[in-house]
A and B are shown apart, each in its own frame.
Chain A
């Protein structure tokens, strides 16, 4: 079941990216909107950046014990 869901998930990613390539962008304002599958790339990289950013902040001193202020 879980394996099947994973397959469906990855297939639908592929389909959405493929379909996305053939959809014209209405108004291109910035250069990166011309990159194929820009949203997918940005979603993946953005997610990694946010997780790593949060973890880095946590490790560099803002993550303390629960009773830190008591």
Chain B
């Protein structure tokens, strides 16, 4: 039998051939790649293969277990749907960046050693930034640079951690980490991609600036590979569990203040990733299963939300909630699929978010972490509130000026299929439970108390929304986040190098070149050095003596210098005139 190929290779090699196809053939080709990769992943069997020896270490490109398989499945499924959504895009560069991005994410998932994991990790950062830059305006260029700077920082931290770990342990296999210096460095590297507070700012900064189709890819892969890596190396750490709770609440509160539709969604990524991180941090079978199930479900509905808002922006050119409204009657497909995604992310019964969010919260209860449980429920209330707001102001609020057409067919089809999956998993979660990392899932989502609890939670949140509607109306504003410190720090650094350091450089340069000039002059006639030295010493001594004696050689300013001769002349004239008059009167 032929050995199954690592799924990453399909996308990475497939990206190279995209420019050689045209029109319909190209579209077919691009859809075929994820389809082939999916067939391939079905043939992967648990174990390690594609091992290469490199400098005495084993690089493993295909380490398969239940955890990597479930993340691999969803990455390929959403890869297919997002490619379908972006079929109409004409620039090959965007497609190539997206394919490489998907491929390198799959590379991380199936990497069995830290070196190849790191290599794919960096390819992800470098390829994803092009999905932002292809938007081709000033904001996206700047946001892209901020994005890549932060990811380079995270990557460096990760690499440093990996090197220290490798040297101290002598092994490069991806396993559960033990506390130590390397542990924290690697955690910062993973945590940056997972949007830990306060190193999350690249996410809400860059994702709204990406291209319409690029943001759909962005919303999926970076954070979820981060969660996957945490599940591999840091499962069952209390710090990470509470970080998840903080992210969940923090993301919701900041989302509520946003006006840019995709920035609002980006803050909800922080919040939802918080649930996954919490589940992983709790680390029990139910917690990890819940976290990974939430990865699976979140990818579907969050990509669908970005697709929906993307098609609104694509068709109307408006990206701010204050400019939108009343789009339900112009874009019914977008509106309905968007509402399905909104219900899924809120965790309404019958949609996929209900199942996995319930698992994470139940695992917090099971592990006796009451504060975490309440934080996660609070975030869930806020999520519902936030999506009532987004749905209302985008699709239902009155806006007589707006008119639009429905999005292109491929976008509608992608949204429809993704929405179908959200509902399908919501109604039939067994299909997801069967592929989760821990084989036995002892969780029953559809108990009456859970369903009625969630319904009550949302209905009363709805009442509060009606009461507080005036307070959640979007405003045109910039909301400061921790990025304030990074931006001001960056500006400070630029000022430091542009002003004081630059002045220092000029001063040094002037002094140095003058010294060189003098030495060159003296070197022409070395005998004169003595002569000049004598003259110089004489000059110095006389100058010093003059200074000590208070003698002025006229160099200092004297106000009488020109006034005195003139004054004396005038005085003499007056004296002579007086003498003349005296003589005239007397005689």
Contacts of B449 in A (CB 8 A): 20, 23-26
Q: Is B462 positioned at the interface, with any CB of A under 8 Å from its CB?
A: yes
- The answer to whether A65 touches B478 (Cβ under 8 A) is yes
Closest Cβ–Cβ distance, residue B332 to chain A (whole Å)? 19
Q: Closest approach, in angstroms, between the C-beta of B574 and any C-beta of chain A?
A: 70
Question: A residues 27-70 with Cβ under 8 Å of B?
Answer: 27, 29-30, 37, 39-44, 46-55, 57-58, 61-69
Which residue of the partner chain, among A29, A40, A69, contacts B456 with CB atoms under 8 Å?
A40
In the complex, which residues of chain A have a beta carbon less than 8 angstroms from the beta carbon of B366? 29
- How many A-B pairs have beta carbons closer than 8 Å: the answer is 125
Asked if A63 and B475 sit within 8 Å, CB to CB, the answer is yes
A58 to B256, CA, bound (A): 10
Q: How far is the CA of A43 from the CA of B380 in the complex (A)?
A: 9
Contact B479 A51 (CB under 8 A): no
The listed residue (B256, B460, B478, B487) touching A51 by CB distance below 8 A is B256
Chain B binding surface SS class: helix
Q: Determine whether the beta carbon of B447 is less than 8 Å from that of A13.
A: no
Does B461 belong to the interface (CB within 8 Å)? Answer: yes
* Alpha-carbon gap, A19 to B478, bound state (A): 44
| Chain A interface category by residue count | 35 or more
Which one of B97-105, B284-292, B463-471 is at the interface?
A: B463-471
User: Which residues from chain B contact A23 at a C-beta distance below 8 Å?
Assistant: 448-449, 452
B residues near A12, Cβ cutoff 8 Å: 459
A24 nearest CB neighbor, chain B only: B449
A41 to B381, CA, bound (A): 11
Bound: A66/B319 CA distance, A: 14
With A43-B457, A63-B478 given, name 13 new contacts (CB 8 A).
Answer: A9-B462, A16-B455, A16-B456, A20-B456, A23-B452, A29-B366, A30-B365, A41-B460, A42-B381, A52-B471, A63-B257, A64-B480, A66-B476
Q: Which residues of A contact B (CB under 8 A)?
A: 9, 12-13, 16-17, 19-20, 23-27, 29-30, 37, 39-44, 46-55, 57-58, 61-69
Q: List 10 A-B contacts (CB under 8 A).
A: A13-B463, A26-B449, A29-B365, A29-B368, A43-B381, A43-B457, A47-B461, A47-B468, A54-B256, A62-B480
